[in-house]
Amino acid sequence: MPEGDGYDYKIEAKAYTASSSGASVSPAESPDQELYHSKSWWTTYVFSQDAKYIGIQYFCAATAIAVLGLVLSVLMRVQLAYPGLNVLDPSTYYQAITMHGMIMVIFFLTALFLGGFGNFLIPLMCGARDMVFPYVNMMSFWIFLLSLLVLVASYLVPGGPTGAGWTLYPPQVITAGTPGNLWGLVLMLVSIVLFVVGFTMGGLNYVITVLQARTRGMTLMRMPLSVWGIFVATIIALLAFPALLVGGLMLLLDTVLGTSFYMPAIIATSNFGNEVSTEGGSPLLFQHLFWFFGHPEVYIVALPAFGIVSDLISVHARRNIFGYRMMVWAIIAIAALSFIVWAHHMYIAGFTPWFGFFFASTTLMIAIPTGIKMYNWLLTLWRGNIRFTVPMLFALAFFITFLNGGLTGMFMGNVGTDIALSDTYFVVAHFHFTIGIAPVLVVFGAVYHWFPLATGRMLDEGLGKIHFWITFVGAYMIYFPMHYQGLQGVPRRYFEMYNSSQASSSGLNEFITIVTIVVALSQLIFFYNIINSARAGKKAKKNPWDANSLEWQTPEMPPKHGNWGRTLPVVYRWPYDFNVPGASKDYIPQNVSPSQVRGAKAERT
């Protein structure tokens, strides 16, 4: 942003007096935040300390690596449908599967929702000038970028990237015969460690900004659900990533130093040339550590999606969110439960049935808060004044997709059905519906929704609708048949199934692959739309969606450095006052005081 934009940010917000509007808002508790003002092009656009810019940087980096993940998935699909083409051999297939999983779950979705949307939305939605520690926030992005480079570099080292699947189960991941069991694995683990360090720096910013840097009148129960989702997901991440860090560290030592944390006696490994004999390690220990991270990770991705989709549905249906408090408590309940369900990923690891009984019970309990959220979204839509904008279409698509994935979750959560379905395409379909397609649909919806705020221009609605229908219908055509394949017993992680006895299944494989290529190519429409609209799109008017939340109430759009100009906004109500009886417009922004809308009967403020 241009330097010297004329504002003196050090002016303290004037204490609000009750007489001027008839409502009481407590005075500011701390002085206005002092901001870093960049002096050069480099510190403005590259080494930016402005959370909005860091958010966009995160978004671009995560999207770039997602393109690699997408290309890998297309290669895998081609291999599965047309093994005669030999586009991949077994090693490169396993490497593709591993990189695809790791990239999409951690480096794309986690970074995008928390680093991207978190940075962009939290300060704006909470009425803050910036994140609380802009310098640390900047470092967070650069360490994340470094972790991406290390990850991609594993394609350049001898042996290529690790090919053990994104779960990296030892002893298989270390033993000879698995592709990339030395350098590839080391780079993967280093990359993960860097990611955790970088994320922690950002995550502390997000949490403290929400807890300690909200504007006057912004209570926790007046925050948009997007902020709630990102905030709670960040807390989960701060508590779950330690398990991945420790698990990864021990795996790193097993690989490099030849320790045997995870390596049982039966295995002799070769660590960088020298034969090492191991004994007495516990492979199950890694599975516990990995899934103690891995299951909360599902909700690190899902909760921000839940939050953002709540806002999209509410704004575009012109209807207050149904059961706001219940939505908040459901987010918190899901977060708490996510820490005591991890072993449902390990039903086939062979432990006592009582263990499975406990974890199946807690797993199915998650259906309660999730069900609350589903019904509340439905009731928000009910008798709403629905505008079928592109964000709304994506939100509705998310609703259906996630419902579908949640229902197959019933099969996966129960021990009996899970053991039968483990390692089949049913699992692939299930988790792609829940944490693949569903969150990505929310990402698209969110991009169409907030693009005007970031650039001041609208995305093209027509192209958006074409992109939407191809992506949504295509995703269903890709993953829905996989349920059938899974029930037929088609195993996942097989690189070739040409002579399968299930003729219908190999026919489906070709069908899925063709659709995959179409859907992957249709993303070019999206990228074209973004690039073209950022340059020459229709100018957006202020608050183009008639939304209530604070991010649309900045003095300029797109918001400048410091977000709020001279004085911070004061919040008088929740962000969901749509179609309030007696009000002149169908929405009342959060910073409109009761005296400005006299006669309007707000349902809750």
Partner 1 sequence: MNRSTLPKGWDGFAHDWAADQKVFKGMSWGKAMMWIFLLSDTFIFSCLLISLLTGRASTAVSWPDASVVFGLEVFGVSVPLLLIAIMTFVLISSSGTMAIAVKYGYEKNRKLCTIFLLLTALCGAAFVSMQAFEWTKLIVHEGVSPWGNPFGAEQFGAFFFMITGFHGTHVTIGVIFLLIMARKVWRGDFDSGRRGYFTTMKSDYLAIEIMGLYWHFVDLVWVFIFAFFYLW
User: Do 32 and 568 meet the contact criterion of CB atoms below 8 Å apart?
Assistant: yes
Q: And the tokens for 172? A: 């298989």
In the complex, the smallest distance separating the C-beta of residue 317 from partner 1, rounded to whole angstroms, is 28
Buried residues in 441-468 as b, exposed as e (16+ CB within 10 A): bbbbbbbbbbbbbbbbbbbbeebbeebb
By CB under 8 A, tell whether 246 contacts partner 1: yes
As a whole number of Å, the end-to-end CA separation of the chain is 35
For 64, counting Cβ atoms within 10 Å of its Cβ (0-12 exposed, 13-18 middle, 19+ buried), the class is: middle
> Which C-beta is closer to partner 1: that of 203 or that of 406?
203
In the complex, the smallest distance separating the C-beta of residue 214 from partner 1, rounded to whole angstroms, is 5
The single-letter code of the amino acid at 513 is T
In the complex, the smallest distance separating the C-beta of residue 358 from partner 1, rounded to whole angstroms, is 18
Query: How is residue 584 annotated by DSSP?
Result: S
- Cα 423 to Cα 283, 353, 490, distances in angstroms: 19, 19, 9
From the list 1, 7, 21, 36, which residue makes contact with partner 1 (rule: CB under 8 A)?
A: 36
> Which C-beta is closer to partner 1: that of 72 or that of 201?
201
In the complex, the smallest distance separating the C-beta of residue 424 from partner 1, rounded to whole angstroms, is 30
> Which C-beta is closer to partner 1: that of 214 or that of 457?
214
In the complex, the smallest distance separating the C-beta of residue 143 from partner 1, rounded to whole angstroms, is 14
In the complex, the smallest distance separating the C-beta of residue 508 from partner 1, rounded to whole angstroms, is 42
In the complex, the smallest distance separating the C-beta of residue 370 from partner 1, rounded to whole angstroms, is 24
From the list 75, 78, 157, 239, which residue makes contact with partner 1 (rule: CB under 8 A)?
A: 239
CA atoms in the 13 A half-sphere facing the CB of 71: 7
By CB under 8 A, tell whether 207 contacts partner 1: yes
By CB under 8 A, tell whether 289 contacts partner 1: yes
In the complex, the smallest distance separating the C-beta of residue 218 from partner 1, rounded to whole angstroms, is 5
In the complex, the smallest distance separating the C-beta of residue 325 from partner 1, rounded to whole angstroms, is 12
By CB under 8 A, tell whether 288 contacts partner 1: yes
> Which C-beta is closer to partner 1: that of 8 or that of 29?
29
Alpha-carbon gap, residue 536 to 534, rounded angstroms: 6
Looking only at the bridges linking them, the beta strands covering 268-271 and 274-277 are antiparallel
In the complex, the smallest distance separating the C-beta of residue 266 from partner 1, rounded to whole angstroms, is 11
> Which C-beta is closer to partner 1: that of 245 or that of 308?
245
Residues with Cβ within 8 Å of 126's Cβ and at least 6 positions away in sequence, in order, are: 209, 210, 213, 214, 215, 218, 223, 227, 550
Degrees, nearest 5: CA angle 584-224-125: 90
From the list 195, 261, 290, 291, which residue makes contact with partner 1 (rule: CB under 8 A)?
A: 261
Report the site for partner 1 in 187-206 (rule: CB under 8 A).
200, 203-204
Tally of residues, the chain: 605
Site string for partner 1, 290-309 (x = CB under 8 A): --x-----------------
User: Do 296 and 226 meet the contact criterion of CB atoms below 8 Å apart?
Assistant: no
From the list 67, 87, 193, 253, which residue makes contact with partner 1 (rule: CB under 8 A)?
A: 253
User: Do 233 and 285 meet the contact criterion of CB atoms below 8 Å apart?
Assistant: no
Q: And the tokens for 70? A: 């997408």
Query: How is residue 268 annotated by DSSP?
Result: E
SS3 state at 100: helix
Q: And the tokens for 344? A: 């449902």
Alpha-carbon gap, residue 174 to 178, rounded angstroms: 7
By CB under 8 A, tell whether 249 contacts partner 1: yes
SS3 state at 293: helix
Cβ count near 576 (within 10 Å): 29
From the list 51, 148, 187, 218, which residue makes contact with partner 1 (rule: CB under 8 A)?
A: 218
By CB under 8 A, tell whether 236 contacts partner 1: no
> Which C-beta is closer to partner 1: that of 23 or that of 386?
23
Stretch of 161-169, 184-192, 239-247, 439-447 lying at the interface with partner 1 (CB under 8 A): 239-247
Residues with Cβ within 8 Å of 7's Cβ and at least 6 positions away in sequence, in order, are: 562, 565, 566
Buried residues in 477-500 as b, exposed as e (16+ CB within 10 A): bbbebbbbbbebbbebeebebeeb
Q: And the tokens for 114? A: 């928390």
> Which C-beta is closer to partner 1: that of 29 or that of 84?
29
The single-letter code of the amino acid at 593 is S
In the complex, the smallest distance separating the C-beta of residue 193 from partner 1, rounded to whole angstroms, is 11
Tokens 């795996």 belong to which residue?
251
Tokens 């092009």 belong to which residue?
41
Stretch of 211-219, 433-441, 445-453, 492-500 lying at the interface with partner 1 (CB under 8 A): 211-219
From the list 74, 124, 132, 174, which residue makes contact with partner 1 (rule: CB under 8 A)?
A: 132
Report the site for partner 1 in 1-30 (rule: CB under 8 A).
25-26, 28-30
In the complex, the smallest distance separating the C-beta of residue 262 from partner 1, rounded to whole angstroms, is 9
From the list 168, 213, 313, 443, which residue makes contact with partner 1 (rule: CB under 8 A)?
A: 213
By CB under 8 A, tell whether 276 contacts partner 1: yes
Site string for partner 1, 133-152 (x = CB under 8 A): x-x-----------------
In the complex, the smallest distance separating the C-beta of residue 46 from partner 1, rounded to whole angstroms, is 16
> Which C-beta is closer to partner 1: that of 278 or that of 509?
278
* Dihedral angle computed from the Cα positions of residues 394, 396, 399 and 400, in that order, rounded to the nearest 10 degrees: -100
In the complex, the smallest distance separating the C-beta of residue 185 from partner 1, rounded to whole angstroms, is 17
Q: Which residues bind partner 1 (CB under 8 A)?
A: 25-26, 28-30, 34, 36, 132-133, 135, 200, 203-204, 207-208, 211-222, 238-239, 241-243, 245-247, 249-250, 253, 257-261, 265, 276, 278-282, 284-285, 288-289, 292, 571
